[in-house]
Amino acid sequence: MMERRESNEDDFESIVKLDRISFIQELMEMELTISPNVVTDSYKSITTTLESFLKLLLEMFKKFEIELTNVQLIGSTVRTILFGDLDNNDTFDIDLAIKIKCDRFDDVLRAEEATLLDLCKQQKINASSQEVPLYFLNKALVSEPFPWALISVGSLDCVVDIKVSPFDALCDFSVNSLRIELKQVIEQSLESTAIIPITSSYSVPLVVNDIQNKVLHWKDNTIRRIGLRYVLMKVKGFNLENSKDVILFGENILNEFFDKPSEYFQTELFKFIQRHFFKNQFDFTSIYKFLNILNETIIAVKNPSLLSSEVDKIKKMLEIFEKTGRRSKRERYFEE
């Protein structure tokens, strides 16, 4: 057991303050619906809590002799917990980083599949080991700048992205760098956990300052969502008369992506499309309208070459999917 420490203002730089721990408890007790990525009568959704899912996942890692260094909550949910930014509560998209002491990604995937198979058995859902991969919304193996494996599970209400790597989680800039250590919380329960550490690849006081001055006044959790949701409002018939607002939102999009690889923009845009335009099937008419307006918004800030070509690539991929019903090789990476 770690030595218990009282929390005060100075401790904000290293541990979660006592009045914020309730946010973590609510997150861990949150009901998580894990839906298959195909819609048929034969596949049923798994319902569990986030804590139960993660506890079982860690047990499976041990069975497969995968040694864990840490399990960290990352992303904008961390800011919600630490700063109580309830107006921008972001629990529909949860990011977790698991650091391991090996790079046996085949075993990592098997452990993740075994976790879902065990949950299916517990809930008397008839799913074979061949069918369990259908419960992953996304699977990918990334090699640059270092190897890590990604799986996504959940539903439209909440998606949990789990990134597994022998290396620390990447962060784009300081406001995304705060990480909350959850390994002890998962293994020993919140009640028996003495402290919950906060880590960052930057100076934590610098990060806190950036968040308080740059983030808490945003109208949404991330710059990219402000820009993309503005575009979505236009798709649904909402028009801003002030051209300065159009430019502002366009610049928000560009500022979020200008220093990122093109694949990052594609991935985020696909996630956005899936969340907003997919029910039982894709609404391709609305998607193409959305992409056209996105292009117009980018052009409005007089830098069309930066992202417009990526929008065109996404259009072409969607056109192929619309005609054939087949996903890209990248999306089927682990299924082959």
At residue 259, the pLDDT reads 60
| Distances, alpha carbon 135 to alpha carbons 20, 114, 186, in Å | 32, 12, 22
At residue 195, the pLDDT reads 82
At residue 277, the pLDDT reads 73
- Nearest residue to 186 via CA among 262, 282, 73: 73
**Cα–Cα distance, 252 to 106 (Å, whole number):** 38
Strand locations in the chain (E) = 31-34, 46-49, 68-74, 93-100, 138-142, 148-154, 159-165, 179-181, 198-199
- Nearest residue to 222 via CA among 79, 76, 83: 76
**Given pLDDT bands bounded at 50, 70 and 90, which one contains residue 54?**
very high
| CB atoms closer than 10 angstroms to residue 109 | 19
Please check whether residue 111 is in contact with residue 58, taking contact to mean a CB–CB distance below 8 angstroms. no
At residue 208, the pLDDT reads 80
At residue 61, the pLDDT reads 97
* Range of lowest pLDDT (100-109, 127-136, 201-210, 251-260): 251-260
Q: How many CA atoms lie within 13 A of 135 on its CB side?
A: 30
At residue 315, the pLDDT reads 75
**Given pLDDT bands bounded at 50, 70 and 90, which one contains residue 29?**
very high
Please check whether residue 327 is in contact with residue 273, taking contact to mean a CB–CB distance below 8 angstroms. no
**Given pLDDT bands bounded at 50, 70 and 90, which one contains residue 15?**
confident
Residue 59 has pLDDT above 70, yes or no: yes
Token duo for residue 154? 């959940």
**Given pLDDT bands bounded at 50, 70 and 90, which one contains residue 241?**
low
**Cα–Cα distance, 27 to 100 (Å, whole number):** 23
248 burial type by CB count under 10 A (0-12 exposed, 13-18 middle, 19+ buried): middle
Choose from 25-39, 227-241, 289-303, 318-332 the range with maximum mean pLDDT. Answer: 25-39
Q: What is the DSSP letter of 3?
A: P
Mean pLDDT value across residues 197-221: 70
Q: How many CA atoms lie within 13 A of 180 on its CB side?
A: 29
**DSSP letter string, 20-52:** GHHHHHHHHHSEEEE--SS--TT---EEEEHHH
At residue 332, the pLDDT reads 41
128 burial type by CB count under 10 A (0-12 exposed, 13-18 middle, 19+ buried): exposed
Mean pLDDT value across residues 31-42: 79
pLDDT tens-digit readout, 92-139: 789 999 999 988 999 999 999 999 999 999 999 888 888 888 899 888
Residue 334 has pLDDT above 70, yes or no: no
What is the distance between the terminal CA atoms of the chain, rounded to a whole angstrom? Answer: 44
Q: Which one has a higher pLDDT value, 14 or 157?
A: 157
At residue 239, the pLDDT reads 66
